[in-house]
């Protein structure tokens, strides 16, 4: 009697992607760049949709806080204020589960986005009552952030040219791959960047100058990204050795989920550091402008006598 085959994993999970990769013919796996790129994209999409697939279980309060990126003190505050349901009590030990973890991540995300405790309570109540909170907040995005920061937008070439509003700048953006031209269609690969350019242009800043800044900044950003990714890669390489058998699917899923969370936290850290640095430079600039203004606009002091 043949041994029972293992059950096929749930579609859309990391396990299902790995299952399909293993079942593909070796020739396809080794020679098709598209196959590898598609599998990588599916793995990260699955990790975003199932952020704690490799973390399933019960957690003490310290572990719960760590996985949610907050503190045990905050967990207690949210529990006392009714934002988190009571944990399971086993003797004197309080055990939390994945429902607590997902809810805690959502609470933390909403507070980070400027909502207060009262707003969070109202939204969680609406969620529990079955209202479409996911559409309002983007539940998955609120928990882990989407994997792709920007989705390219396709539009008629004339609309893209009108969006930029400057033929020379349009050609420069095409050369930088910010816009790709495909016949009568244009693919705006960085729609948020174009939106930011247009807003800043409203203050009178020349578009060519903004594109110059973009060209100067991108290599520096790439250097920062390389440093951050290298730190995560060192951890992965320690556990997945080239030429050796791959670890179990659960361990691969854990590593991919770790990298997704690593990306989220790295972006948040760099963003906070950059914002702090920019604020400091703006304050210094305004101080110099104000001091210069006061120096040249003050009335002469009256003479005594």
Distance, in Å, from the CA atom of 73 to the CA atom of 105, rounded to the nearest integer, reads: 15
The string of pLDDT tens digits covering residues 267-281 is 777 877 888 888 888
The token pair at 266 is: 């790295």
The DSSP element (H or E) to which 303 belongs, if any, is none
Distance CA 80, CA 67 (A): 20
List of domains in the chain: 61-129 (1.10.1660.10), 145-238 (no CATH)
Whether the per-residue pLDDT at 2 is higher than 80: the answer is no
Query: What tens digit of pLDDT does each residue of 212-266 get?
Result: 999 999 999 889 888 888 877 777 777 666 666 766 666 666 677 677 667 767 7
Contact 124, 107 (CB under 8 A): yes
What tokens appear for 203 in the block? 């203050």
User: Could you tell me the pLDDT band of residue 49, with boundaries at 50, 70 and 90?
Assistant: low
**Residue range 88-137, pLDDT digits in tens:** 887 788 888 877 887 888 788 778 777 778 877 877 776 655 544 444 44
What is the SS3 assignment for 251?
helix
- The pLDDT, as a whole number, for residue 3 is 46
User: Mean pLDDT over residues 25-30, rounded?
Assistant: 65
* Residue 88, H or E segment: strand 88-90
DSSP tally for the chain: helices H, then strands E: 14, 5
């Amino acid at each position: 009697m043949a041994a029972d085959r293992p059950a096929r994993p749930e579609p859309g999970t990391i396990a299902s992607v790995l299952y399909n990769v293993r079942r593909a013919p070796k020739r396809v796996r080794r020679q098709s760049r598209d196959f590898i790129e598609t599998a990588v994209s599916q793995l990260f999409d699955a990790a975003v949709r199932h952020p704690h697939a490799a973390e399933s279980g019960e957690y003490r309060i310290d572990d719960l806080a760590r996985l949610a990126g907050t503190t045990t003190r905050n967990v207690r505050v949210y529990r006392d204020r009714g934002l988190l349901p009571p944990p399971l009590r086993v003797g004197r030990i309080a055990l939390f589960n994945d429902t607590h973890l997902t809810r805690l991540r959502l609470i933390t995300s909403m507070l980070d986005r400027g909502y207060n405790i009262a707003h969070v309570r109202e939204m969680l109540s609406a969620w529990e009552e079955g209202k479409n909170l996911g559409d309002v907040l983007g539940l998955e995005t609120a928990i882990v952030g989407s994997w792709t920061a920007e989705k390219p937008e396709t539009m008629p070439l004339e609309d893209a040219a009108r969006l930029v509003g400057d033929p020379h700048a349009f050609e420069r953006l095409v050369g930088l791959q910010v816009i790709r031209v495909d016949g009568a269609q244009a693919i705006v690969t960085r729609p948020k960047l174009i939106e930011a350019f247009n807003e800043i242009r409203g203050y009178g800043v020349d578009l060519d100058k903004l594109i110059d800044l973009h060209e100067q900044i991108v290599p520096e950003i790439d250097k920062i990204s390389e440093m951050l990714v290298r730190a995560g890669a060192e951890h992965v390489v320690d556990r997945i050795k080239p030429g050796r058998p791959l670890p179990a699917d659960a361990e691969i899923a854990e590593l991919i989920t770790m990298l997704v969370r690593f990306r989220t936290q790295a972006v948040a850290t760099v963003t906070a550091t950059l914002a702090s640095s920019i604020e400091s430079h703006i304050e210094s600039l305004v101080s110099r402008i104000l001091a210069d203004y006061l120096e040249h606009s003050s009335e002469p002091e009256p003479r005594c006598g």
